[in-house]
Amino acid sequence: MTFELVKCDRCGTSSTGYYTLSSLTKGMYIQCTKCGNHAAPYTPGLKLLWKPSKTFIREVGAEEAARRARELEEMGGAATVLTTKTPTHNQGAPMPTDRTTFYCDAGTKNNGQFGKQQTVVVVTDATGKVIVEEWIGDKTNNEGELTAIIRAASKAPRGALIISDSNLAVKWTQGKYRTKVERLKPLVYDAMTAVRAKDIEVGWISRDNNLAGHYIEQKYSL
């Protein structure tokens, strides 16, 4: 199969790219020579290589993940992409709606190894477009998840929905859990204040369905 170039959704440059396969979602990753590698919304009909995500490989096994990727490639993306795993979410947790929605996540290298940690926070809109991509230094993943919510709230309009795959960060921001970790308390306060100031709702979603998480996994393998 001859693979075609894909038009970058940011700058319009024709570059190489590939489709990404997760549990219940299809995505696209663009290796743009001008504005850099980035995740992009799934665009059907392109002749691109299919690559299963690391999460998907862990879930179904390398052989099955490769088989499904080949099936999608051969059928032009028309094959069913479902696993036996049912994505879970907290009862009552908001899922993506027609209102303004932001996805946020954090990835940490050497999590828990103070002095060696490097954490990136990412916020995307509902199409997967990256709104925030920021390295915040020697921070734990919990610090990163809270910072991601704060960054998302700073970009979001009043009444928006912010989605995170960190159950703890969501519950801290909602005021349902308290933390005894001193370094987290200022971030929890800032997250609660930021979302309440704009009447923003914060909800949980699985990592498999988190567009910001897809971006971090594809670009940084975190």
| Tens of pLDDT, residues 63-84 | 888 888 888 888 777 654 433 3
Are residues 179 and 134 located together in one domain of the fold? yes
Does some domain include residue 146? yes
Does some domain include residue 89? no
Q: How many domains are contained in the chain?
A: 2
Does some domain include residue 117? yes
| Tens of pLDDT, residues 110-164 | 998 999 999 999 999 988 899 999 999 999 999 999 999 999 999 999 999 999 9
Are residues 13 and 107 located together in one domain of the fold? no
Are residues 185 and 134 located together in one domain of the fold? yes
Q: What phi and psi values does residue 76 have, to the nearest 5 degrees?
A: 65, 30
What burial letters (b/e) apply to 48-78, b meaning 16+ CB within 10 Å?
A: bebbbbebbbebbeeeebbebbebbbeeebe
Are residues 105 and 65 located together in one domain of the fold? no
Instruction: Please give the helix or strand (H or E) that residue 18 lies within, else none.
Output: strand 14-21
Are residues 43 and 150 located together in one domain of the fold? no
Does some domain include residue 82? no
Are residues 109 and 151 located together in one domain of the fold? yes
CATH of the domain at 113: 3.30.420.10
d(CA 153, CA 95): 17
Max distance between CA atoms of the chain, in angstroms, equals 56
This prediction has a pTM of 0.64
User: What are the structure tokens assigned to 1, written together?
Assistant: 């199969």
Are residues 68 and 151 located together in one domain of the fold? no
| Degrees to nearest 5, angle at CA 128 with 57 and 78 | 55
Cβ proximity of 161 and 96 under 8 Å: yes
What percentage of residues in the chain have a pLDDT greater than 70?
88
Which residues, in sequence order, are bridge partners of residue 52? 21
Number of H helices, E strands in the chain: 6, 10
Give DSSP secondary structure letters for 177-189. Answer: -----GGGHHHHH
Are residues 136 and 207 located together in one domain of the fold? yes
Does some domain include residue 83? no
Are residues 58 and 111 located together in one domain of the fold? no
Range of the domain at 69: 6-74
- Among 55, 30, 27, smallest CA distance to 42 is for 27
State which amino acid sits at residue 163. Answer: I
Are residues 211 and 122 located together in one domain of the fold? yes
Does some domain include residue 85? no
| Tens of pLDDT, residues 165-207 | 999 999 999 999 999 999 999 999 999 999 999 999 999 988 8
Are residues 115 and 45 located together in one domain of the fold? no
Are residues 115 and 65 located together in one domain of the fold? no
